[in-house]
Structure 1
Amino acid sequence: MWQQTFCLILSVIITGSFSVSGDMTVSPVVFVPRGEDAILSCSFTHSRQQDYSGKIAVKWLARESNALPFIICTVKNDSTEGLCSVPELKHSLLGDPRWGELSLLIRRVHLSDNGTYFCRVELDGWRNSFQKGTQLYVTVKPQILNLSVVESHSGSDSASRRLRCEVEGHPLPTVTWLSASRGLLKDQVQTSTVSPYQLVSTVPYLEEDVFTCRVENMVGGAERRYPASYTLMITALTVCGLVVLLLLCAGFIVCRRNRVENHHLHESDCPVEGDVELQLVYSAVSMTNSTSSQHKSLRSSSQQQQQQQQEPGVIYSPVNIQSRVRCEGNSRL
């Protein structure tokens, strides 16, 4: 018994503190699209959380568990000092180590940031250290970098020219070739990996055919046709067809509106019994006092001015005369 006590006292003297038990939690895999910020979560709790007053050293390592840390942040658990987060840097701590928050923030991740990261925390004493790894997986939506015809200098097929499709994506996408005349192509397809994020696929090229290179992975897909003029021609024909259809509809609407307006115009101009025309009729009237007084009461100011220029003793009076004229508009409509 005294030997165990002596070893414990000796351990305290050497390490400066008692060993503590703790628990560290990290995310096994973190998926982040290229160009966005990544957060690698890491939290830590230990048995002396309430009364611990020593130092807390947080370290983040990349690729190897024994690599040199690229982030080191040390704070005292009972202090009010500032944290180690620096907004301008690509890597910084996200959280307060005094509360067990040890997460890592990586701003605007790229494909080169892919890999394993290790979260490490050290308390006072060489035995009081804990470390766990987490995987950062930067995803890239597939895209076709280039689609062109190249000369073939080798291969089992007899085609001297091949259509080459250069693709980028993470995870590496699958490539599917389609032919306008033959459908899905499986034979004579050659695909090779250029890098962990790029590959190249080729098929024999026939000028009279139209090919489609289609790529897909877990985050999306893309496709492109060759030759490109074929796609442009289809698009142009589609647009022209829509324009012609709109013009025809507009012309039909205008013609219909004109017919309706003409129909209403003929109906207003042509009564049922025929056209009515106003004609000027001359009539000889004897100049008696009674007749003269009757006409004087019917004359307007405009008629009086006209009569002043006519011969004396003659009275002009408008008379309605109906002419039997057939309304052509009504008969047609």
Structure 2
Amino acid sequence: MASIGQIIFWSMIVLIFVCAGLIILLLAIAFSASQGTVETSAPFPVGNLGEDVVLECRFLTKSGTDRSSDVLITWEKEGLTGLVYQYKNNAAQLQDQNAQFKDRAQLFTDAIAGGNASLLLRSVKMTDGGVYYCNVGAPGVWGRVRINLRVSVYSAPTITKSNNSLRAEAPRWTATPSVTWVDQSGKQLNSSTQFTRFNNSGTEIVQVVSDLPGPLTAAVIYTCFIEDRLIKSVSEVTGDGDLKSSYFVTSSSPKMPPLQLVCTTPLLLYMLAW
């Protein structure tokens, strides 16, 4: 004959399985009714220290109905107590906001009705780097996306010509970036580079000065690459010093774990209440 302890133990096991089944059923019903998606085209943005960055998040519905007053948008950061930002009942709800983001985080409220849940983060700090979650609950749309923000220090170089040589000067990079010059065939050229280090509020900043000696050919396009582990600056210039293009390319994205369907507490409550 089973003891009272065994009866209680097995009763608890059964109760746990029943509750788990109910939760799965409710989630299945909620998601089966969903007609939209939550997504981002930039899961690995690179912020520039001291500048603003946008963490892109969009939600799409099949109906396209404007129900902005019914939208719940919650931004969280992994490992951080409190919220980054929350939008509910057609207004910001910042009572649970982490102090790190006070007066620095905001949504594009005029664009929410069109499906824009992106977060603008002002004056990026090195400590802002990490994994963020954009949670959206709206009529027919329930979901989240994962965005891994990396923070670096980078700048495009100014390129000048003097004595038949080219000089690239970039005022701010982090660590010690690699600098290379190539011709239009991709051949790496001999160059010399100097780094000057200084401290900016606890972050070491590097000034880059790189010289490509002549002789140079006026019609040939030379490319200067300045690159750290996160970002690459690409500057194309002719042998006579005419800048053709200058742009940044993010380095290869870190590996992400398999996509998981995870609901935070506020999002789950919204789904069950809708």
Question: Normalised by the size of structure 1, how large is the TM-score?
Answer: 0.34
Say which one has the larger Rg.
1
Higher helix share: 1
Q: Which has the higher contact order (CA 8 A, sep 6+)?
A: 2
